Amino acid sequence: MGGSSPRLWTPLLAALLLPGSLAASLTPGERLAAGRLVRAYPSFLSRVQGDLLVWKDGTRMPLERARAASYSALLDWPGLLDKLDTVYPACQPLRVPARNEDPGRVRYEPLFQRMYGGSAQEVAAHLDTVNWFGQVLRVTRVNGAAASLRAVAAELARQPALLPYARPSAGAFVWRKIAGTSRLSLHALGAAIDLNTAYSDYWLWKGYREGQAGIRYRNRLPPTLVRVFERHGWIWGGRWYHHGTMHFEYRPELTGTCR
C-alpha cells in the first residue's frame, strides 16, 4: 500500500545512500517518541533499530532531522524526527497557542503515504463509509480510522448539545493539497474530517500569511467536543497557532492514552 512518487521517496533514498546523514544516536526522548509511533501503528511498524524505524515488511526509514531554513520549509520537507518532536496536549484544557505552536502540523508524508496510499486510487481502495448523523462520509479503514470515527459519532449522539457543532460535516476524504502549499492534506488519505463551518474559524479565511506574527486566535467549539475526538485518537486543528477549528485528523501516535 503506498506510492512511489519522487516526493515520497527521494528524501528517503538520499538519507539511506549518504553516509553520516543519520543522527549519531537517538536521545532517550526521541527513542520514546519513536516507540509511541510503533505502538500507534502496529499493523505496519515493527520496531526502532538503532537510528532506523523498521516496518513489518522490512523497510527501514531513517530517523533524521531536516535542515530547514524556515518554519514553512520545515513543514514542506521535515525529517521523521521533526514529526516526532510534537508534544500534543491531548485532553488538556484549551488555551491560545503561541506563535508557530502547531502540535501535529509537521507531517512526514512518506510515513503516511506508505500506510494509507500514495495516490487517490490507492487511498480509495481502502475507504469505508461512516454514517455521520445521516450524512455519508468516506474515511479510510486503515489503522482503524473509520471505526474510531464511528465511535466518536456514537459518543456525540449521547450529548445532543454538541451536535450543532458537529453536523453537517464539511467533508472527509478528498484528494487535495493543503491550500497554498505543496503538502498533501490528511483529507487526501481519508484520515481527516471537517465539522460544521458555521461554527468554525480558520486563519487563512482572515488573509494571514503562514508564520506571520499576530494571527488572531478564535474558537467557538466546546472543549467537551474536542475531548471526545481526542479520546478516540483524533487531534484538533484548534490547538494550532495556524488554527482551523473545523479540522480533526486521526493521529493516535499523538493522543496516546488520554481519557
Beta carbons within 10 angstroms of residue 100's beta carbon: 18
Match 517518541 to its residue by C-alpha cell.
33
- Give yes or no for a contact between 42 and 70, defined as CB atoms under 8 angstroms apart: no
Whole-number average pLDDT of the chain? 91
Per-residue confidence at 67, pLDDT binned at 50, 70, 90? Answer: confident
Tell me which DSSP letter residue 233 carries. Answer: T
Per-residue confidence at 6, pLDDT binned at 50, 70, 90? Answer: very low
- Helix (H, G, I), strand (E, B), or coil: what is residue 55? strand
What's the one-letter identity of residue 56? Answer: K
Q: What digits encode the pLDDT tens for the residues 115-163? A: 999 999 999 999 999 999 999 999 999 999 999 999 999 999 999 999 9
Would the pLDDT of 259 be above 90?
Answer: no
Q: What digits encode the pLDDT tens for the residues 149-204? A: 999 999 999 999 999 999 999 999 999 999 889 999 999 999 999 999 999 999 99
Dist CA 72 CA 78 (whole Å): 10
Going along the chain from its start, the domains and CATH numbers come out as 6-89 (no CATH), 120-255 (3.30.1380)
Q: Which value, in Å, is the radius of gyration of the alpha carbons in the chain?
A: 18
Would the pLDDT of 12 be above 50?
Answer: no
Least confident of 13-17, 38-42, 110-114, 144-148: 13-17
Q: What is the pLDDT of residue 186?
A: 97
Q: In this structure, what C-alpha cell is assigned to residue 159? A: 450529548
- With residue 37 as reference, give the H or E element that holds it: helix 28-40
Report the share of the chain in percent with pLDDT over 90. Answer: 85
Dist CA 151 CA 50 (whole Å): 37
Per-residue confidence at 22, pLDDT binned at 50, 70, 90? Answer: very low
Q: Residue 49 pairs with which residues in a beta bridge?
A: 52
pTM of the model as a whole: 0.90
- Give yes or no for a contact between 137 and 124, defined as CB atoms under 8 angstroms apart: no
User: Residue 168, preceding bond cis, omega within 30 degrees?
Assistant: yes
Average pLDDT over residues 245-256: 96
Higher pLDDT, residue 85 or 175: 175
